[in-house]
Structure 1
Amino acid sequence: MKRLFVLTFSVVALSALSACGEKPQTLGSGVKTDGAAYQGVQNQFAAPGWKAGDKTSWEQGLKARAQNSQNEYNKIGNSK
């Protein structure tokens, strides 16, 4: 009985201490910081007609997207 108690206690103690072995998660060297969203991308996924770096054009595009494609009231029409 004593041997079973010691074995159980040892297993519990080892499993409790196993959580203490996690390595710290820090940022490594060479981390790239992001720029402003309106600075844009240089690939084929950019919206047609938009120039990278034009902040006012970016903001107008966001407003148009919010009104035209993300506004549920505009999608279903005015029910009044």
Structure 2
Amino acid sequence: MKDFKLTPRMTVVAAALTVLLSACGEKPQTAGTRSADVQAWNGGAQTTFNVPGWAPGDKVSWEEQIKQRNRSQNEYVRMAP
């Protein structure tokens, strides 16, 4: 076998292939979330994270809880004048 010489061009090509092929191994980062075809107000039966006043499957109470959460995150509403 002949003497193998690593040229700068081969180094660049090898590095480029490594970078390009590394993206092929990316795994989906879903963390076990529900699928997108389920309505948000149908939620799960995880009572640990349910807010009092919200029942899974009740769209009206779910919308009210979202409105309340948004109001609580508004600094102008939270702080007393």
TM class by shorter chain equals 0.5 to 0.7
Relative distance call for 1:15 and 1:39 in structure 2 (3 A) is same
Q: Does 1:7 align with 2:7?
A: yes
Q: What is the deviation of 1:75?
A: 1.8
Residues 1-40 of structure 1 correspond to what in structure 2 (within 5 A)? 7-22=7-22, 23=24, 33-34=35-36, 35-40=38-43
Q: Which ranges in structure 1 are unaligned for 5 or more consecutive residues?
A: none
The alignment's TM-score, normalised by the length of structure 1, stands at 0.60
User: CA separation in 2, counterparts of 1:6 and 1:51?
Assistant: 66
User: CA separation in 2, counterparts of 1:75 and 1:39?
Assistant: 29
Equivalent pairs counted in the alignment come to 69
Q: Does 1:60 align with 2:64?
A: yes
Q: What is the deviation of 1:14?
A: 2.6
Match of 1:47 in 2: 51
What percent identity do the matched residue pairs reach?
A: 32
User: CA separation in 2, counterparts of 1:12 and 1:36?
Assistant: 49
Relative distance call for 1:39 and 1:19 in structure 2 (3 A) is same
Q: Compare CA radii of gyration and give the structure with the larger one.
A: 1
Q: Which ranges in structure 2 are unaligned for 5 or more consecutive residues?
A: 29-33
Aligned-residue CA RMSD (Å): 2.9
CA contact (8 A) 2:41 2:62 kept: yes
Runs of 4+ in 1 over 4 A off after TM superposition: none
Q: What is the deviation of 1:24?
A: 7.6
